[in-house]
Amino acid sequence: MLYSDKVMDHFGNPHNVGVIEDADGVGEVGNPVCGDMMKITIKVTDDHLDDIKFQTLGCGAAIATSSVITEMARGMSLEDAVRITKAEIAGELDGLPPAKMHCSVLAADGLRAAVDDYLVKNGREPISGGPEHVEEDEQGQ
């Protein structure tokens, strides 16, 4: 199991780490029993992501996917942000080992939860459609 240089770059120097104190939306996903926990906070202006920060407890892939999704999603419309897929995140990192694909799902789900949280707080309907489905064969072995 080897990580790409891009994964190692994002892991070693993760971008946008932290918490936005006056966040418009908060997404918290994961489970400490699984070892992966992620919290995303967002600022929204005109239905676009103005700012985005994350905190993650997890392995190299969990931290790298968290970092890269903040870069991918910054400036995006909410509609586009919730459509970021695990495959796109993995592609942005030049691929992930098969057993680590679930980490990119965590990042995508964290962002969706934050967007939905913002919408619901503002009396609007959630748009993400919930967590991304993880196929059996992608859960490692």
Partner 1 sequence: MTDNRVYLDNAATTRTDPRVVDAMVPFFTDTYGNANSLHAEGRAAHKALEDARSRVAAAINAGRPDEVLFTSGGTESDNSALIGLATAGGRAGGHIIVSAFEHHAVLEPAEWLGKHGFDISLLKPRSDGVVHPDDLRAALREGTVLVSIMHGNNELGTLQPIAELAAVAHEGGALFHTDAAQTVGKVEFDAQALGVDAASFSGHKIYGPKGTGVLFLKRGTRFAPYLMGGGQEFHKRSGTQNVPGAQGFATALEIMVAEREAETGRLTMLRDRFEAAILGRLENTYVNGIDSPRMPHITSLIVKGVEGESMLLHLDAKGIAVSTGSACSSGSLQASHVLMAIDCPQEIAHGSLRVSLGRWTTEADVDYLVDSLVPIVERLRAMSPVYEKMFGQKA
Residues of this chain that interact with partner 1 (CB under 8 A) are 1, 3, 8, 11-12, 14, 17-18, 28, 32-39, 55-63, 97, 99-100, 102, 139-141
Whose Cβ is closer to partner 1: residue 31's or residue 45's?
31
Work out how close the CB of 48 gets to partner 1 at its nearest, in angstroms, rounded to a whole number. Answer: 24
Nearest distance in Å: CB 1, partner 1: 6
Task: Give the nearer residue to partner 1 in terms of CB position, either 2 or 125.
Answer: 2
Calculate the alpha carbon distances from 80 to 6, 29, 108 in Å: 23, 20, 12
Q: Which helix (H) or strand (E) holds 53?
A: strand 48-57
Q: Residue 34 or residue 87: which is nearer to partner 1 going by CB? A: 34
- C-alpha neighbours within 13 Å on the C-beta side of residue 97: 15
Of 23, 49, 29, 21, the C-alpha closest to 105 is 29
Active centre residues (catalytic): 34, 103
